[in-house]
């Protein structure tokens, strides 16, 4: 990871903080997100405090700080899904994958995100995995669903 | 050049190039501000200082509006007042309703504005932000819920202190002031100076409080509770009790501390004198034995952490002396406890400091001797005032008392530690004596006094000329150190104080004190130095006695074990 | 061969066209050569495909593949040129065919399946009957197609006056030769050879050009301020951070004619004495960025960017900075902070950017359309440009049409055209002949124009007089089915998310305004009187909040944030009242206010609605009439959608 960051940094002069945003864009293009290590590297190169870099990066919509998993699970928490028990679905997913929403599993296979209504109220509770909808989920169906994706490997 | 402008239908004089706010303030017209910081570029974020430009009918912010000829403004028109009021109401709509439980109750700018603008009902309501408190730091507690995002702390941290530990994170209504990757502030480069607390208009930034532990020790008969206080405390406390700023109430404070229940009252200034003995000797040793120069003072824990993080290469330059607080603490739990026949573990050692970084210093690993901490709890000036009020001590109606000896007697050289340049002046007085065997004819070194961020002097002692520099405000330190590192400046001895103007303006002092008050504190310290007869540390009889019966001589083995320490590079998110 | 030919074209264009800026050669040989470069005199067919973002979205890349396949299948030689957007987005994908023997002819909605048929016909010199043509272009050579309109007679294009969009959709955007052959860069070369920088500022001021990005500040005046500043370095910035929902003209200009922007900036930089320029463009516009990069490289190669341009001693360099996603960076000082690598937060003005801007140096910022006007102004002369438009608004304005309108896309009309003309004559009126309700102009900062104001002339002041603003020129049309409270909520949600958070009125105020709108459109809670009272009090505060936010916010974003509410509130107060007091959404948009009822006479008891209801709000036994439990219903409308017997009604 850091080697890549270094390669990118070589293209930009030391201490020129005006290049911060292009550098972050380049890093995210290559690595998919901004890791803490990258941000620290960038700070060293540009002689900028990491807090400032983080402040800049979180200001703009473009930047992410966690890699998405190979399978990105979006759990709908809209009203309809909520009423039909999406909370337990989410709980079960978190338990099965041993991650909290907003995070990615250690093996990088799955990331979990809670989203507002994705407009599939008729399918509630609904979960989208890489954009594919899985309808009318209950807690007991979660293991099978996730295993299906695991077994695709 | 000056000209007249019309304010509220009256002419006032304005100076070309200044901002409207400055003209107004000079003529006794108060306009509320929340984000304004004197002497810094206006950020224009709070919008509280809006006034009505009668020429255009528009509202402009006085802090960022340069005066112009023919300007006509209304500072308190109905439109202006209603706008300010609604802005405050908007802030309140996203602010915890817990004034009565807030450490800044009765000293909160938001509370004051709410009162001044007669906010009487909750016209604006909505969902409030709900964040976690950050208690990770030894010195500073952050409560983002109370933060109104005025940005003063961010600017002070960056522009005055050169630290940039905190910054704005996220955007819009999700903005918070925080640390990289939303971590605790303990992972950051924060040096615990507390200047952020000093500028915080609300209770979003406060010092970490140790009252429960302190109170239980005060009430524990098996504990001997001792207290020491820093040189600047006696000239800073008066303001908290409605007395004139800078008034020296040392005796009253001694009495108050005993009324609260402290068993022994000592003066950190004794430790300052001790520091000078060690530090001056160390300087002479370095100069005569080709040691690392320049030597840099190590009394200020904010500066020490700053150096460990940003200038690890300069660590060998730091004086190995512990700070006066830690020296006093170390002596209390060694020599003094022996003398008193007390088990060090049964002593609860408290210090009153104008400083939040001292809380951090006290819990450093280096400041522990065989599992016994030199100092157990550190209170800020503010907290002392709270404690005095809590214990119902009437500061206007008690008889002054003296300190306990032997750790209570001091010279006036130690006393001036509280102002920027004081350590240097005191050190020069003693170093001169140590080198030449004679006392200086003129103790006062005028060029090292005053409010300048960086002061320099050359001192001749015998055939030795020593170049010294004094900086306060870590951004100033940065600038000086860059010059020293590049070889542009040749200095032998540097005093660094993290806070601008030194401890009299430390991060533990009264919040909201103005520049004038700080100047009064400075003047008070120098007045004491003028008036008193023992003006050098090496003439402090108790210090002489301590060396005689315990330490031997400066830089002795015992001194090294108890009064000196070493620092190392600190790994934080820079 | 090709390389050599290119060199000669380059030398020809530089020596005989650009250096000859004052003396338009009538020499026939020169004219012919130019016609060749302009692709007007051709010896093999050219197929043009609209490949802007809108075209590609409509499937232009598949169309291109189909064309290539057709050509190779039929062993035909033809050149394929990908153009930018001609402006009629609803007609994409657009394909033009230019045969050596005939005029260039343009077809709309050419999806991949239609390619073969059209090409079969055109190559046999017939017009396809089943494909819709937008018309033919007069060309240097070649016959007219019979019974076919000319392009400029097309109702969408006829009323337009194209200065900025002149080349868009017509030329190859990444061929500098074609741009030069069509008169490009001549203005720039003329200006740097003949004029003093101040004269250029004068000319632009005289032309009456005003900023096309929002505020409408006179461009020449702004340039003069910067021109008058003494500094070792000055900067010129093009604001291409087009973020308004409903505006896409900047993207289309860059994708369709990037050299026009570069030339306009080059002239501007010369006028203010800047040698360094930045284009701040949204990262979400990859195609525009790519075409700009190519164009900049080409201009460098031709010596139009760089040092000592054409031996005049003039220097001009240009850098692209990609925005990272923050609407507020459209604000000048925020944009500069972003270029400097900081959080894009505005700062108070003064100092104005023309005094202290990027890196503390005098800086001029204009938007894409403003710069794109500049070459045209120099070419036609300030007086001629000033003759177009109204008293205080000169020239043309590009509008982006979207929403419930028959023809969507970009139009460029003279200032002073009526809004009605643009909507009903150019753009074909409201979609599906529904009833017009309002048109939102100027994006989230703008306001709406209602039926009775449709005849106002488009200019900066007139629009202000009806509570709207020019803004960047997005026109979002709304019909009878649009809920204006919902529209206000949509914009407020956008603004609230995009507020930078620096100043209190905008940060806290937009959030509260959104919450009030949400409570107005939110579900009524039966029996909770407190809730109703709160809602009512919220509305009472709404107008006061709007006023204070407008008066006290730091930057344009906050100052205009209440506009959607103020505007809808002033024209559609009745809709607000219906939401607040009757708890009804007259347009039926706000689902939370919808109440569904089952008509017991029509219900057959098939149970499908009960089974599909996500919240089990429908009860009833098989073959018996069903009922909806109001307190459980979330208004999602699934029952309405699934009922086969029209038994579910919205009330």
C636/A121 CB distance under 8 A:
yes
Which region among B296-305, B496-505, C509-518, C586-595 has the lowest average model confidence (pLDDT)? Answer: C586-595
CA angle B517, B520, B526 (to 5 degrees): 150
The SS3 call for residue B496 is strand
Contacting residues of B for A55, CB less than 8 Å apart: 167-169
Q: Is B299 a catalytic residue?
A: yes
Tens digits of per-residue pLDDT, B19-71?
999 999 999 999 999 999 998 999 999 999 999 999 999 999 999 999 999 99
Buried b (16+ CB within 10 A) or exposed e, B413-442: bbbbbbbbbbbbbbbbbbbbbbbeeeebee
Does the C25-151 domain belong in CATH 1.10.3470.10?
no
C499 vs chain B: nearest CA distance in angstroms? 5
Q: Is B386 on the interface with C (CB under 8 A)?
A: no
Q: Is the pLDDT of residue C636 over 90?
A: no
Quick check: B46 and B35 in contact, CB under 8 A?
A: yes
A39/B180 CB distance under 8 A:
yes
> Which of C24, C395, C34, C26 is CA-nearest to residue C187?
C24
Nearest by CB: C343 against A55, A62, A80: A55
Does the C396-482 domain belong in CATH 3.10.20.600?
yes
CA distance B12 to A58: 45
Give the CB-side neighbour count of residue C234, counting CA atoms within 13 A.
Answer: 26
Which region among A59-63, B215-219, C70-74, C287-291 has the lowest average model confidence (pLDDT)? Answer: A59-63
Q: Is the pLDDT of residue B262 over 60?
A: yes
Q: What is the DSSP letter of B123?
A: -
CA distance C71 to C79: 10
Quick check: B403 and B251 in contact, CB under 8 A?
A: no
Confidence at residue A79, expressed as pLDDT on a 0 to 100 scale: 60
Q: Which two tokens stand for residue A8?
A: 């990118």
CA distance B232 to B363: 22
A21/C322 CB distance under 8 A:
yes
> Which of B220, B197, B199, B217 is CA-nearest to residue B207?
B197
Quick check: C369 and C411 in contact, CB under 8 A?
A: no
B74 vs chain C: nearest CA distance in angstroms? 15
Q: Is A60 on the interface with C (CB under 8 A)?
A: yes
Judged on CB neighbours under 10 Å (0-12, 13-18, 19+), C433 is: exposed
Residue holding tokens 């048109």? C439
Nearest CA in chain C to B169: C343
Q: Is the pLDDT of residue C3 over 70?
A: no
Nearest by CB: B83 against C345, C499, C548: C548
Tens digits of per-residue pLDDT, B401-454?
999 988 999 999 999 999 999 999 999 999 999 999 999 988 999 999 999 999
CA distance C469 to C562: 13
CA torsion through residues C101, C102, C103, C106, sign: negative
Confidence at residue B7, expressed as pLDDT on a 0 to 100 scale: 97
Q: Is B568 on the interface with A (CB under 8 A)?
A: no
Quick check: C95 and C48 in contact, CB under 8 A?
A: yes
CA distance C117 to C108: 13
A52/B170 CB distance under 8 A:
no
A124/C338 CB distance under 8 A:
no
CB neighbours of B286 closer than 8 A, spacing ≥ 6? Answer: B292, B293, B295
- Residue of B171, B201, B202 to mutate, testing the C interface (most C Cβ within 10 Å of its Cβ): B171
Which of B 171-210 lie inside 8 A of A, CB atoms? 171, 178-181, 188-189
> Which of C96, C90, C82, C86 is CA-nearest to residue C58?
C90
ipTM: 0.90
Of B361, B383, B425, B495, which is the active-site residue? Answer: B361
CA distance B213 to B378: 11
A59/C500 CB distance under 8 A:
yes
User: What CATH class has B212-563?
Assistant: alpha beta
Q: What is the CATH number of domain C594-650?
A: 3.30.70.20
User: What CATH class has A71-151?
Assistant: alpha beta
Tens digits of per-residue pLDDT, B504-560?
999 999 999 999 999 999 999 999 999 999 999 999 999 999 999 999 999 999 999
Q: Is the pLDDT of residue B237 over 90?
A: yes
CA distance A13 to C92: 44
Interface of C with A (CB under 8 A): 283, 321-326, 338-345, 359, 500, 612, 614-615, 634, 636, 638, 641-642
Confidence at residue A32, expressed as pLDDT on a 0 to 100 scale: 80
CB neighbours of B449 closer than 8 A, spacing ≥ 6? Answer: B419, B421, B425, B455, B526
Averaged pLDDT, C524-538 = 66
Q: Is B523 a catalytic residue?
A: no
Average pLDDT, chain A: 86
Strands A132-134 and A110-115: unpaired
Q: What is the CATH number of domain B140-208?
A: 3.30.70.20
Nearest by CB: C324 against A21, A83, A122: A21
CA distance B38 to B29: 16
> Which of C1, C364, C25, C17 is CA-nearest to residue C200?
C364
Question: Within 10 Å of residue C25's Cβ, how many Cβ atoms?
Answer: 13
Contacting residues of A for B188, CB less than 8 Å apart: 51
Quick check: B469 and B494 in contact, CB under 8 A?
A: yes
> Which of B373, B348, B369 is CA-nearest to residue B360?
B373
CB neighbours of B202 closer than 8 A, spacing ≥ 6? Answer: B95, B102, B104, B108, B109, B110, B146, B147, B148
A54/B167 CB distance under 8 A:
yes
CA distance C636 to C632: 11
Nearest by CB: C507 against B44, B50, B172: B172
Fold topology of A2-59: Arc Repressor Mutant, subunit A (1.10.10)
Tens digits of per-residue pLDDT, C373-416?
999 999 999 999 999 999 999 999 999 988 888 988 899 999 99
Quick check: C593 and C575 in contact, CB under 8 A?
A: no
CA angle B347, B353, B354 (to 5 degrees): 170
Q: Peptide bond preceding B294: is omega within 30 degrees of 0, i.e. cis? A: yes
Q: Is B279 a catalytic residue?
A: yes
C185 vs chain A: nearest CA distance in angstroms? 30
pTM: 0.90
What are the domain boundaries of chain B?
2-89, 140-208, 212-563
Quick check: C207 and C378 in contact, CB under 8 A?
A: no
Which of C 314-373 lie inside 8 A of B, CB atoms? 326, 343, 345, 347-348, 350
CA torsion through residues C583, C588, C592, C597, sign: positive
Tens digits of per-residue pLDDT, C310-351?
999 999 999 999 998 888 999 999 999 999 999 999 999 989
Contacting residues of B for C501, CB less than 8 Å apart: 149, 168, 170-175
What are the domain boundaries of chain A?
2-59, 71-151
Does the B2-89 domain belong in CATH 3.50.50.60?
no
Fold topology of C176-386: Rossmann fold (3.40.50)
B45/C537 CB distance under 8 A:
no
What are the domain boundaries of chain C?
25-151, 176-386, 396-482, 485-582, 594-650
Q: Is the pLDDT of residue C529 over 80?
A: no
C551/B59 CB distance under 8 A:
yes
Q: Is the pLDDT of residue B380 over 50?
A: yes
Of B239, B279, B383, B425, which is the active-site residue? Answer: B279
Confidence at residue C115, expressed as pLDDT on a 0 to 100 scale: 95
Judged on CB neighbours under 10 Å (0-12, 13-18, 19+), A80 is: buried
Q: Which two tokens stand for residue B337?
A: 């406890």
Report phi then psi at B100, rounded to 5. -65, -20
User: What CATH class has C485-582?
Assistant: mainly alpha
Tens digits of per-residue pLDDT, B163-195?
999 999 999 999 999 999 999 999 999 999 999
Confidence at residue A120, expressed as pLDDT on a 0 to 100 scale: 61
A62/C325 CB distance under 8 A:
yes
Interface contacts A/C by beta carbons within 8 Å = 65
Contacting residues of B for C345, CB less than 8 Å apart: 168
Q: Please, which chains are in contact with A (at least 3 CB pairs closer than 8 A)? A: B, C
Q: Is the pLDDT of residue C1 over 50?
A: no
Alpha helices (H) in C273-393, listed in sequence order = 286-301, 332-339, 368-380, 382-386
Q: Is B361 a catalytic residue?
A: yes
B164/A39 CB distance under 8 A:
no
B167/A36 CB distance under 8 A:
no
> Which of B226, B236, B237, B230 is CA-nearest to residue B340?
B226
Q: What is the DSSP string of B185-206?
A: GGGS------HHHHH-SSTTEE
Predicted confidence band at A117 (pLDDT cuts at 50, 70, 90)? low
Quick check: B405 and B315 in contact, CB under 8 A?
A: no
Contacting residues of B for A36, CB less than 8 Å apart: 180-181
Predicted confidence band at C510 (pLDDT cuts at 50, 70, 90)? very high
B500 vs chain C: nearest CA distance in angstroms? 27
CA distance B131 to B122: 22
- For chain B, the 3-state helix, strand and coil shares in percent, each to the nearest 5, are 40, 15, 40
B181/A36 CB distance under 8 A:
yes
A6-10, A95-99, C196-200, C497-501: range with highest mean pLDDT: C196-200
A50/B169 CB distance under 8 A:
no
Buried b (16+ CB within 10 A) or exposed e, B177-187: bbbbbebebbb
Buried b (16+ CB within 10 A) or exposed e, B523-557: ebbbebbeeeebbbbbbbebbeebbeebbeebbbe
Q: Is B549 a catalytic residue?
A: no
- Residue of B181, B190, B196 to mutate, testing the A interface (most A Cβ within 10 Å of its Cβ): B181
Q: Is the pLDDT of residue C6 over 60?
A: no
C548/B172 CB distance under 8 A:
no
Contacting residues of A for B179, CB less than 8 Å apart: 51, 54
Q: Is B309 a catalytic residue?
A: no
Q: Is A50 on the interface with B (CB under 8 A)?
A: yes
């Amino acid at each position: 990871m850091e080697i890549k960051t270094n390669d990118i940094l070589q293209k930009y002069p030391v201490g020129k903080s005006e290049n911060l945003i292009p550098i972050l864009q380049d890093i995210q293009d290559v690595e998919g997100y901004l890791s803490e290590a990258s941000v620290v590297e960038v700070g060293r190169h540009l002689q900028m405090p990491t807090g400032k870099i983080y402040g800049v990066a979180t200001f703009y919509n473009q930047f992410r700080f966690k890699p998405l998993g190979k399978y990105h699970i979006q759990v709908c928490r809209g009203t309809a899904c909520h009423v039909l028990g999406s909370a337990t679905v989410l709980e079960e997913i978190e338990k099965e994958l041993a991650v909290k929403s907003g995070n990615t599993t250690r093996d990088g296979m799955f990331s979990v995100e809670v989203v507002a209504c994705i407009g599939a109220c008729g399918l509630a509770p609904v979960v989208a995995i890489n954009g594919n909808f899985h309808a009318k989920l209950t807690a007991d169906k979660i293991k099978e669903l996730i295993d299906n994706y695991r077994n695709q490997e | 050049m000056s000209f007249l402008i019309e304010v509220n239908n009256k002419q006032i004089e304005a100076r070309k190039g200044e901002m409207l706010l400055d003209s107004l303030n000079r003529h006794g017209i108060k306009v509320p501000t929340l984000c304004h910081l004197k002497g810094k570029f206006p950020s224009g974020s709070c919008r509280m200082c809006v006034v009505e430009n009668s020429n255009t009918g528009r509202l402009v912010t006085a802090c960022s509006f340069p005066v112009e000829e023919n300007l006509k403004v209304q500072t308190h028109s109905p439109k202006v007042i209603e706008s300010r009021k609604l802005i405050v109401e908007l802030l309140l709509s996203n602010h915890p309703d817990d004034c009565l439980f807030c450490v800044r109750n009765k000293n909160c700018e938001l509370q004051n504005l709410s009162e001044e603008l007669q906010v009487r009902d909750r016209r604006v309501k909505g969902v409030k932000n709900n964040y976690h408190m950050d208690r990770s730091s030894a010195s500073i507690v952050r409560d983002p819920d109370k933060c109104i995002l005025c940005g003063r702390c961010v600017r002070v941290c960056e522009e005055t202190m050169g630290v940039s530990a905190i910054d704005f994170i996220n955007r819009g209504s999700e903005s918070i002031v925080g640390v990289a990757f939303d971590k605790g502030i303990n992972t950051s480069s924060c040096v615990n100076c507390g200047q952020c607390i000093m500028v915080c208009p609300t209770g979003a930034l406060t010092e970490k409080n140790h009252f429960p532990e302190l109170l239980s020790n005060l009430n524990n008969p098996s504990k001997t509770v001792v207290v020491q206080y820093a040189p600047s405390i006696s000239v800073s406390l008066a303001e908290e009790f409605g007395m004139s700023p800078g008034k020296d109430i040392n005796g009253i404070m001694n009495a108050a501390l005993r009324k609260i229940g402290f068993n022994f009252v000592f003066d950190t200034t004794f430790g300052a004198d001790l520091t000078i003995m060690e530090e001056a000797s160390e300087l002479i040793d370095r100069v005569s034995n080709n040691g690392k120069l320049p030597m840099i003072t190590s009394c200020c824990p904010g500066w020490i952490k700053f150096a460990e993080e940003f200038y690890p290469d300069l660590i060998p330059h730091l004086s190995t002396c512990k700070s006066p607080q830690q020296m006093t603490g170390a002596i209390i739990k060694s020599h003094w406890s022996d003398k008193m026949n007390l088990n060090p573990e049964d002593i609860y050692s408290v210090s009153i400091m104008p400083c939040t970084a001292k809380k951090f210093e006290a819990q450093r690993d280096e400041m522990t001797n065989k599992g016994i901490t030199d100092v157990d709890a550190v209170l800020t000036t503010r907290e002392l005032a709270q404690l005095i009020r809590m214990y119902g001590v009437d500061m206007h109606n008690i008889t002054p008392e003296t300190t306990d000896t032997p750790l209570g007697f001091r010279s006036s050289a130690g006393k001036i530690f509280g102002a920027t340049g004081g350590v240097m002046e005191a050190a020069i007085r003693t170093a001169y004596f140590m080198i030449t065997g004679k006392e200086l004819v003129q103790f006062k070194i005028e060029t090292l006094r005053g409010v300048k961020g960086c002061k320099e002097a050359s001192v001749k002692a015998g055939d030795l000329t020593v170049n010294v520099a004094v900086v306060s405000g870590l951004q100033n330190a940065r600038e000086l150190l860059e010059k020293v590192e590049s070889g542009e400046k040749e200095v032998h001895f540097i005093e660094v104080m993290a806070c601008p103007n030194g401890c009299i303006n430390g991060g533990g002092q009264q919040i909201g004190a103005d520049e004038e008050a700080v100047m009064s504190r400075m003047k008070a310290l120098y007045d004491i130095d003028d008036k008193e007869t023992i003006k050098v540390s090496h003439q402090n009889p108790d210090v002489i006695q301590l060396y005689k019966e315990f330490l031997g001589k400066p830089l002795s083995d015992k001194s090294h074990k108890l009064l000196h320490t070493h620092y190392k590079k600190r790994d934080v998110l820079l | 061969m090709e390389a050599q030919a290119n060199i000669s074209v380059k030398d020809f264009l530089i020596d005989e066209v650009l250096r000859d800026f004052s003396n338009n050669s009538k020499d026939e040989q020169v004219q012919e050569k130019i016609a060749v470069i302009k692709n007007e005199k051709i010896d093999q067919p050219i197929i043009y495909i609209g490949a802007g973002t809108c075209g590609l979205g409509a499937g232009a890349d598949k169309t291109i593949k189909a064309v290539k396949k057709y050509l190779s299948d039929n062993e035909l030689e033809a050149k394929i040129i990908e153009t930018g957007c001609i402006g009629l987005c609803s007609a994409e994908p657009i394909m033009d065919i230019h045969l050596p023997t005939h005029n260039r002819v343009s077809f709309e909605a050419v999806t991949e399946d239609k390619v073969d048929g059209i090409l079969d016909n055109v190559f046999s010199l017939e017009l396809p009957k089943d494909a819709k043509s937008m018309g033919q272009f007069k060309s240097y050579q070649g016959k007219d197609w019979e019974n076919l309109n000319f392009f400029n007679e097309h109702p969408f294009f006829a009323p337009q006056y194209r200065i900025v969009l002149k080349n868009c959709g017509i030329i190859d955007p990444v061929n500098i030769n074609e741009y030069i052959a069509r008169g490009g860069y001549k203005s720039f070369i003329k200006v740097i050879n003949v004029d003093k920088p101040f004269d250029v500022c004068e000319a632009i001021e005289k032309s009456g050009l005003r900023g096309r990005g929002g505020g409408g500040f006179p461009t020449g005046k702004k340039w003069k301020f910067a021109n008058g500043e003494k500094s070792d370095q000055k900067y010129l910035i093009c604001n291409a951070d087009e973020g308004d929902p409903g505006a896409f003209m900047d993207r289309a200009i860059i994708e369709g004619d990037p050299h026009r922007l570069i030339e306009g900036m080059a002239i501007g930089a010369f006028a203010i004495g800047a040698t360094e320029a930045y284009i701040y463009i949204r990262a979400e516009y990859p195609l525009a960025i790519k075409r700009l990069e190519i164009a900049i490289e080409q201009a460098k190669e031709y010596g139009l960017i760089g040092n000592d341009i054409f031996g005049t001693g003039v220097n001009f360099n240009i850098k692209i900075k990609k925005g990272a996603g923050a609407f507020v960076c459209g604000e000048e000082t925020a944009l500069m902070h972003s270029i400097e690598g900081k959080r894009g937060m505005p700062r108070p003005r003064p100092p104005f950017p023309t005094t202290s801007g990027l890196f503390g140096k005098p800086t001029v910022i204009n938007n894409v359309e403003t710069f794109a006007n500049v070459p045209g102004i120099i070419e036609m002369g300030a007086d001629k440009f000033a003759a177009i438009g109204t008293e205080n608004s000169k020239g043309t304005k590009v509008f982006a049409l979207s929403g419930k309108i028959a023809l969507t896309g970009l139009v460029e009309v003279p200032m002073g055209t009526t809004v009605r003309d643009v909507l009903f004559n150019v753009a074909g009126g409201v979609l599906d002949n529904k009833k017009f309700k309002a048109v939102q102009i100027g994006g989230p900062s703008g306001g709406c124009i209602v039926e009775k104001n449709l005849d106002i002339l488009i200019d900066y002041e007139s629009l202000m007089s009806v509570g709207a603003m020019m803004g960047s020129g997005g026109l979002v049309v709304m019909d009878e089915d649009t809920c204006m409270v919902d529209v206000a909520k949509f914009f407020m949600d956008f603004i609230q998310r995009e507020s930078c958070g620096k100043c209190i009125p905008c940060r806290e105020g937009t959030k509260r305004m959104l919450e009030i709108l949400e409570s107005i459109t939110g579900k009524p809670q039966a029996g909770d009187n407190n809730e109703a009272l709160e809602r009512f009090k919220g509305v009472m505060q709404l107008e006061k909040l709007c006023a204070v936010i407008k008066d006290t916010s730091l930057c344009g974003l906050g100052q205009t944030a209440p506009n959607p509410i103020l505007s809808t509130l002033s024209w559609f107060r009745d809709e607000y009242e219906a939401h607040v007091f009757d708890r009804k959404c007259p347009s039926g948009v706000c689902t939370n206010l919808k109440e569904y009822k089952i008509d017991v006479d029509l219900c057959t008891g098939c149970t499908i609605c009960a089974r599909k209801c996500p919240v089990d709000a429908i009860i009833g036994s098989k073959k018996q009439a069903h009922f909806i439990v109001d307190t459980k219903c979330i208004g999602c409308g699934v029952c309405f959608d699934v009922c086969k017997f029209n038994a579910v009604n919205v009330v």
